[in-house]
Amino acid sequence: MTEFIQGLPKAELHVHIEGTLEPELAFRLAAKHGIRLPYATVDDLRRAYQFSDLQSFLDIYYAGAGVLRDEDDFHLLTQAYLGMAHSQGVVHVEIFFDPQTHTARGVSFETALNGIRRALLEAERERGTTFRLIPCILRHLSASDAMRMLEDALPHRDAIAAIGLDSSESGHPPAKFREVFARARQAGLPAVAHAGEEGPPAYIREALDILEARRIDHGVRCEEDEELMERLARERVPLTMCPLSNVKLRVFDRLEAHNIGRLLERGLCVTVNSDDPAYFGGYLLENYLAVQEALGLTRDQLTLLARNSIEASFLEPDAKRRWQAAIDAYAPDGSPPIPL
C-alpha cells in the first residue's frame, strides 16, 4: 500500500510553508541569525509539539517562524518541503504562506515571496513539479491589517493564484473580511478559506456566500448541516482536509472517527493534505497511509482522492485532464505516471 500511494500522482492543496519548518532547520537558521531558541536541543523542540487545540499550536508556530529572516531562509524552507513532496509522488503543489507573520517582524512581503518562489521555479524546472502560491490573511488580526497585506500582494498579481484565510477561526467569521476579498476579486484573485475546522458550519456558508470561496480548507464540520453537505456535493466545492492535523489539534479524538471517508462516499470533493507537517507528524504520504489504515480505504477510494486533488487545483483544464488520465492509467506495480 505504501508503494501504491507513493507512486500515485497527486496534488497537495493545503500546506502552510511555515508549517514545514523542521526543528533541525529551525536550529540551523537560529544559529545563522544569532537567535536563541527557548529549547536546548532539536529533541526538546520536537517534544514541545503537543497541542490541546488550534491556538496552542499557533502560539509555537508563530514563534518558530521568527527564524525566517531573509530570502535564502524562505528558499531553504521551501526547497526542503519540495524535496519531500517529490519523493512522495506529489506532482503539483499549492502552497500557503502568511505574509503578516513576517511583515510584523520587519520582513517584507517581497522577501518571503521571492524566496519561496525561487525554490518553486527550481523544482518546476528540475523535477516538473508545478505550483501555485497563495498568500493568506491572518484572521485574528484586523480587516484593515488584512487590506494592507492585500495591497502588498497586488503588485505581484502574476506570481500568486488566490488569496486565502487562515489562523485562529473561533470568533473570527469570514464576513469580517468581506471588503478585503471583494477587493481581491476585483483584481482577479479568487478566494480560498479555512472554515469549519473549529468554527461552525455557518462559517463555511459565509466563506461561500460572502467571500465567494472556490475551496474550503478543512470543512470537517459541514457534516453537522445536512443541507450544506448536499450543497457542497452538488456544487463540487472542494474540501482540503488534513487528517493528521485534525487529530493532533483534537478536532477528532482519533483518526478512526474522521469523516473524510463518509464525505467521500457522499460524493463530496474531499482531498487529503498535510497542513503543517513538521508539527503534526506527517507529510502527504503519511496522511494518506494513516487515513487508509484507520478507515480501511480501498485502492479505488485512494485513487478517487488523488483525482479529486487534481480537480480541486488551480491547474489549467488541459493539465488537469492529463494528470487525471495519468492517475487512471497508474498501475500498482510502480509504472511511472504520464509526464505533464
Do 133 and 117 meet the contact criterion of CB atoms below 8 Å apart? yes
Sheet holding 213-218, edge to edge: 191-195, 213-218, 239-241, 270-272
d(CA 315, CA 40): 43
Grid cell, residue 221, equals 464540520
Is residue 197 among the annotated active site residues?
yes
- Give the active site residue among 12, 197, 198, 206: 197
Catalytic residues: 197
